[in-house]
Structure 1
Amino acid sequence: MQQLLVLIVALIGSVQSVNITKLSATSRKFNFHLRARIVGGRQTTIEDFPYQVSIVHDRSHTCGGSIYKPDIIITAAHCLVDIEMHDLAVVAGTTDWEGGGVETSIRKFVMHPKFDPKTFDYDIAILKLTDKLQYGPRIQPITLPVYRQEFKPGSVGVVSGWGALGEDGDDPDELHFTSLKIVSNNECYKAYRDINPVTKNMMCAWIRKGGHGTCQGDSGSALVVGNVLAGIVSWGLGCARPNVPEVYTKVSTFRRWLDLNIKSLNN
């Protein structure tokens, strides 16, 4: 299997520089597209994306996540591999992840038991916060899709994050966003057939000509279509490359799993 760069967290280096079978706490700079910064996007404010949070590891932004309940965050499972819970925190309600907002620790988390760090299948996780967030103009929940809800190819999605501005770009402190178009899984499968499987648990989006997308640090952030959490930044080849779709966890596939495990976390 060729080496991948994890989605929306901008890639650091070439495909040859990272092997997704070696995902660990030391690979927080995810040469995958663990989309950490938005490529080709524009600076924005948290008021426009009030569900967006920063997941901080050892005082550094690592991944994004989405507020679903006052004490529940949805993110990517790969963001939590080989991570100690006491080293993590969530920062909400701020445009600049390093300043302002509300920081809270994580009480517990659940990764999907079938998550495969080799293929990034089942790349979804839930965080239970120690303290409940207080909703306001800068902190709001995202809506989940219904079970098995589909999003038509060509539909426009919006992704936000604090990820790198390019494969070799800087990591901005300010929140950025960009728009992408949903790609059919068949077309996405063809693009990755010699690299990594695209499964029924995944969905894809892009700007065909490239120049817009996610990068290191964007992993775990939301792909929103029609105000619904359609996808979670998961993996991809490089950052915003031409003719290369970005791959997201398809949230509608996991709606029942989310409902069941959120209930369990609240018990």
Structure 2
Amino acid sequence: MKAITVLLVYLAFASALPRQERIVGGTTVSINTYPFSAVLLITSGVMNRLRQNCGGSIINNRSVLTAAHCIQHGNLNTHRVRSGSSNASSGGRLHDISSRLVHPHYNQGTLNNDIGMFRVSSAFQFGPTVRAAAIIGQNAIIPDNALVWAIGWGWTSHGGNNPSEQLRHVQIRTTPVARCQRAYTGFTITAAMICAAWDTHGRGSCQGDSGSPLIHNNVVVGATSFGMRCADPNYPTVYARVAHFTNWIRTNA
């Protein structure tokens, strides 16, 4: 969604902030590596063609974890989820969405608590390419400078206008809150957020990656929320910190 667009929230601030894109500086990867990854599609145009919109993490046989801004608006009849495929527009299985749940404390203006879930009408069939993700424990801490993987089907360069057809991943590092806060002086980096970037230009999440997971040691620790200037180390991407919401997720999934 546009959330990783100028504030990867990219929706609420799209008019005021610069745009962002998809996974930048990474490589294509098979869905077998991340079988819990799902792509959120939306119909557009007079032909109602499906296009990539956001990403998410399968957390049980019916529910997908994503960013709140990805599912807050719009008719559910216009959304679909593709599971079990490395490609955004083909393969795997398409699912209708039966319901959505936005975190009750999500704030569209501050992007705090940018987390949500949706349920699919037809259960996911688990196998080599479809599996539930492991999510981090409640209030668990990921240290600064920890190596993490960002994945998604978003743009592959700053200023791009097309998402990646194939799933991509890139390795980056978690960044100290103070560094992240300096980058976003107009926003407050809260305990519900975790930031990540690389030391040099050219690696990171981008527009279209919103809702997609941030992964540490094969565990989902974040959901892509917002950012500025894709793959710019001066502007770390901000993710919803899953550890802040684990109990809520488990209760409501």
2:114 counterpart of 1:123 = yes
How far, CA to CA, are the matches of 2:13 and 2:200 in structure 1? 30
Structure 2 unaligned spans of 5+: 44-49
Cα distance, 1:160 vs structure 2: 1.0
Query: 1:201 touches 1:250 (CA, 8 Å); kept in 2?
Result: yes
Q: In structure 1, what is the equivalent of residue 170 of structure 2? A: 178
The alignment partner of 2:59 has SS state of strand
Cα distance, 1:187 vs structure 2: 2.1
Match of 2:242 among 243, 251, 267: 251
Deviation string for 1:56-84 (max 9, x for gaps)?
11111100000110111000000013211
2:34 counterpart of 1:49 = yes
Over 3 Å counting, the alpha-carbon distance change for 1:49 and 1:254 in structure 2 is: same
Over 3 Å counting, the alpha-carbon distance change for 1:136 and 1:112 in structure 2 is: same
Query: 1:32 touches 1:235 (CA, 8 Å); kept in 2?
Result: no
> Where do residues 63-74 of structure 1 align in structure 2 (5 Å cutoff)?
63-74=54-65
Structure 1 unaligned spans of 5+: 263-267
How far, CA to CA, are the matches of 1:183 and 1:237 in structure 2? 15
Q: Which is richer in helix?
A: 1
Q: In structure 2, what is the equivalent of residue 96 of structure 1? A: 87
Q: In structure 1, what is the equivalent of residue 99 of structure 2? A: 108
2:51 counterpart of 1:60 = yes
Deviation string for 1:3-52 (max 9, x for gaps)?
xx733xxx3xxx59x985467xxx9xx9644x5x2101101111111111
Match of 2:3 among 6, 21, 29: 6
Amino acid at match of 2:75: E
2:24 counterpart of 1:39 = yes
Match of 1:241 among 223, 232, 243: 232
Over 3 Å counting, the alpha-carbon distance change for 1:19 and 1:162 in structure 2 is: closer
The alignment partner of 1:61 has SS state of strand
How far, CA to CA, are the matches of 2:101 and 2:63 in structure 1? 11
Query: 2:136 touches 2:242 (CA, 8 Å); kept in 1?
Result: yes
The alignment partner of 1:98 has SS state of coil
Identity within the alignment, %: 29
Cα distance, 1:159 vs structure 2: 1.2
The alignment partner of 2:205 has SS state of strand
How far, CA to CA, are the matches of 1:94 and 1:162 in structure 2? 11
Over 3 Å counting, the alpha-carbon distance change for 1:175 and 1:118 in structure 2 is: same
How far, CA to CA, are the matches of 2:247 and 2:193 in structure 1? 16
Match of 2:153 among 135, 148, 162: 162
2:183 counterpart of 1:191 = yes
Amino acid at match of 2:33: D
The alignment partner of 2:32 has SS state of helix
TM-score by length of 2: 0.90
Match of 1:229 among 199, 208, 220: 220
Deviation string for 1:74-124 (max 9, x for gaps)?
000000132111111110011111111111111111001111111110100
Over 3 Å counting, the alpha-carbon distance change for 1:127 and 1:19 in structure 2 is: closer
Amino acid at match of 1:71: R
Query: 2:80 touches 2:95 (CA, 8 Å); kept in 1?
Result: yes
Amino acid at match of 2:84: G
Cα distance, 1:162 vs structure 2: 0.7
Amino acid at match of 1:118: G
TM-score by length of 1: 0.85
C-alpha RMSD of the superposition:
2.1
The alignment partner of 1:146 has SS state of coil
Query: 1:20 touches 1:32 (CA, 8 Å); kept in 2?
Result: no
How far, CA to CA, are the matches of 2:125 and 2:12 in structure 1? 39
How far, CA to CA, are the matches of 2:199 and 2:106 in structure 1? 29
